[in-house]
Structure 1
Amino acid sequence: MSGRFAPPAHPVRRLPAQGPRGGGAVRRWTPPWPVDLGLVLGVLRRGPADPTYRTASDGAVWRTARTPAGPGTLCVRSGGAGDVVAEAWGDGAEWLLDALPGLLGAADEPDAFTPRHRLVAYSRHRRPGLRLTRTGLVMESLIPSVLEQKVTTDEAYRAWRLLVRRYGEPAPGPAAGAGMYVLPEPRAWALVPSWEWHRAGVDDKRAATIVRAARVARRLEEAVAMEPEAAMARLELVPGVGPWTSAETVQRSHGAPDALTLGDLHLPRIVGYALAGDRDADDATMLELLAPYAGQRHRAARYVLLGGRIPPRRKPKMPKVDIGLL
């Protein structure tokens, strides 16, 4: 067997950069607020070469998903006059179009948020289009979040890219020709051989966590009907899924405004530095600083990150470890 790890060969071309090309189901929707597609949906992208998410040259967002109705591809673009035009392909097309308002933040309530710091208020003023997406899907956010545990983002993005291309399926519709894929079904994740996890740079602990989650995927997907706190508790019943991973998941699956990421290597220091000049802040300090935003702490952290005020680096980045060579 060859030692190379590569996705199946597939011709790649650019995604359409103009209106829907036909052949898919179409929905036109006019939200009562200005939509910033990149700002709202960008949190779903796992790196610049994510095979499940692309942005076309005209700003249209293409994404794939494994819905309860089956795999699907969704293309969302601004239609002019404040409306949004979406086209979808595959068995999950109608499901994706029905979920479009929630995906773009219709269930979010940004007016419930009151800035308590000048930087947060300024960031909110500069980014009025920020709304929290709600995908209504758990596994598509849980698996890449597990891959991101305790490694650099570059390593996690590489693993996600390689595994989705290797074990997923080509995206329905024109996105397949652009090299887009739908994430693997739960059974496929459960059957990934140990050596393929290692070739993708995924250690045994993270691989085992994903396999355990895949085996109870149906129960985990049911968590979308729960309140975020209860959903996080259900996810954390899976050994290897802790508060960091569950929060990163429900931020996207539920659009949870208070699901603050705890245990992160960088976020406490960024929040501490931006709001109090404390470059050594830990989780406890971050929680204290964000206490005035109770119920909206994740949204407040998003505004802090968008503010761009980060502490100067004092030590090298976390070193990369190629476990395939261990």
Structure 2
Amino acid sequence: MMTSMSLEMVASTAQQLGSEPVRLRWSPRGSVHLGQTLSVLGRGTNDPTVRVLSPECVWITTRYLGSAVSARFTRGSGGTDTTALERDIVVDAWGPGAAAWISQAPRWCGAADDWTDFESSPAYGLLPERLTLARRRHPGLRLPATGAVIDRAVIAIIEQRVTAIEAIRAYRYLVRLAGEPAPGPAPVGMYAPPTAEQWRKIPSWQWHRAGVDPHRSATVMRVVQRASALERLGLLEDPVVVRAKLQTLNGIGVWTAAEITQCTHADPDGISVRDYHLADYVCWFFDGAPGSDERMEELLEPWRGNRQRVVRLIKASGHRKPAFGPRLTPADHRRH
């Protein structure tokens, strides 16, 4: 779903070099909550590639055709309290890739995610009242479609079989090691993610220092060797097809593929099966008890095609599962 937009670009020499911002003003169809939609791309409050400064001001960095981009998403002025989530979104982008990337910006904040068919379907009427209430309270919640398959693949691989703390620490270390400072006036500490070639050049001892075991680092190396193929996947529309193609790569399974397409293709149905926490989280919501992946899939079956949207609504509802049971103890691979 793409809506009308106006591009405000000045084709000056300075702008082409990335020293001045390229601007896009997008008039969304319906509500968009910038903070809710873009925050899922970040890992922790000091992620070097995503900073949510407020619900209406979010910075991201990315690569487009190999070139670095920094972008600031903000809301245009005007409107009323009741139309605040429908105001224009203004995107200012800096860097050598900014002019080429800027037309993709609306997809990052949900232009490709249309809830209309789901909300008018019989399946929507089967949602628990708590979830329909969550949707009414969060009408601007959307799924992003960044198309940045390589970036999301690396993040998801680093997160395989480890705690969030370990993965966040490793990702920050490696991005700051191999990436480059974000172009433009981005917040301090932001970096453009490494290119495929920069990922390939990270020596094994640096992966070890980051706390990434050889299995995961080898998987990253295999994936970035296929950078051209992954970039083509970013251009495909159907997340089901993309998930299937990703799983043909050694080291990418159902969990990793879903974690990727949730962010790159606004995947409305991809759920993170085999996640350490998700099955219990969903089962506690519906059953009031822990459960398995099989039970989670059974519970979500009435909403097949929109299961990821249902998971997002569960999170938006404020649901928390009881805080007891064993924790996954971080393993410090740097000491082995």
Provide the TM-score with structure 2 as the length reference: 0.87
Corresponding position: 1:249 with 2:260 = yes
**Cα offset, 1:91, TM superposition:** 1.8
Give, as a single letter, the amino acid of the residue that structure 2 aligns with 1:68.
Answer: L
**Cα offset, 1:190, TM superposition:** 1.5
Aligned to 1:93: 98
Identify the match of residue 53 of structure 1 among 39, 47, 50.
50
Aligned to 1:218: 228
Aligned to 2:185: 174
- Closer, same or farther: CA 303–49 of 1 in aligned 2, 3 Å: same
**Cα offset, 1:33, TM superposition:** 1.8
Give, as a single letter, the amino acid of the residue that structure 2 aligns with 1:146.
Answer: I
Give, as a single letter, the amino acid of the residue that structure 2 aligns with 1:169.
Answer: E
Aligned to 1:307: 317
Distance 1:112 1:291 in 2: 17
Give, as a single letter, the amino acid of the residue that structure 2 aligns with 1:232.
Answer: R
SS of 2:147's equivalent in the other structure is coil
- 1:270-312: CA deviations, max 9, x gaps? 1111112122x11111111111101101111111122222221
Alignment check: 8 A CA contact 2:170 2:210 kept? yes
Distance 2:312 2:52 in 1: 21
Aligned to 1:41: 38
Give, as a single letter, the amino acid of the residue that structure 1 aligns with 2:38.
Answer: L
1:146-165 correspondence runs (5 A) = 146-165=157-176
Identify the match of residue 103 of structure 1 among 104, 108, 126.
108
**Cα offset, 1:69, TM superposition:** 5.7
Alignment check: 8 A CA contact 1:25 1:87 kept? yes
Distance 1:238 1:190 in 2: 17
Aligned to 1:13: none
SS of 2:234's equivalent in the other structure is helix
Give, as a single letter, the amino acid of the residue that structure 2 aligns with 1:194.
Answer: S
Aligned length: 303
Q: CA RMSD in A?
A: 1.5
SS of 1:80's equivalent in the other structure is coil
Alignment check: 8 A CA contact 1:137 1:253 kept? yes
Distance 1:24 1:311 in 2: 44
After superposing the two structures, state which structure 1 stretch, 254-263 or 304-313, moved more: 304-313
Corresponding position: 1:26 with 2:31 = no
Corresponding position: 1:130 with 2:148 = no
SS of 1:44's equivalent in the other structure is coil
**Cα offset, 1:53, TM superposition:** 1.1
**Cα offset, 1:225, TM superposition:** 2.9
SS of 1:107's equivalent in the other structure is coil
- Closer, same or farther: CA 300–260 of 1 in aligned 2, 3 Å: same
Alignment check: 8 A CA contact 1:25 1:93 kept? yes
Aligned to 2:295: 285
- 1:28-80: CA deviations, max 9, x gaps? 12212232111010111111111111123584111100112621111110112
Distance 1:55 1:102 in 2: 17
Aligned to 1:188: 198
SS of 1:106's equivalent in the other structure is coil
Distance 1:91 1:24 in 2: 10
Unaligned ranges ≥5, structure 2: 1-18, 79-86, 119-123
Alignment check: 8 A CA contact 1:69 1:95 kept? no
After superposing the two structures, state which structure 1 stretch, 67-76 or 146-155, moved more: 67-76
Alignment check: 8 A CA contact 2:39 2:52 kept? no
Distance 1:258 1:37 in 2: 21
Distance 1:57 1:287 in 2: 35
Give, as a single letter, the amino acid of the residue that structure 2 aligns with 1:148.
Answer: E
Distance 1:45 1:265 in 2: 19
- 1:142-177: CA deviations, max 9, x gaps? 1111111111101101111000000001111112x6
**Cα offset, 1:217, TM superposition:** 1.0
Alignment check: 8 A CA contact 1:258 1:298 kept? yes
Distance 1:80 1:268 in 2: 42
Corresponding position: 1:320 with 2:330 = yes
Alignment check: 8 A CA contact 2:50 2:61 kept? yes
Aligned to 1:16: none
Identify the match of residue 67 of structure 2 among 44, 52, 70.
70
Provide the TM-score with structure 1 as the length reference: 0.89
Distance 1:265 1:289 in 2: 18
Aligned to 1:232: 243
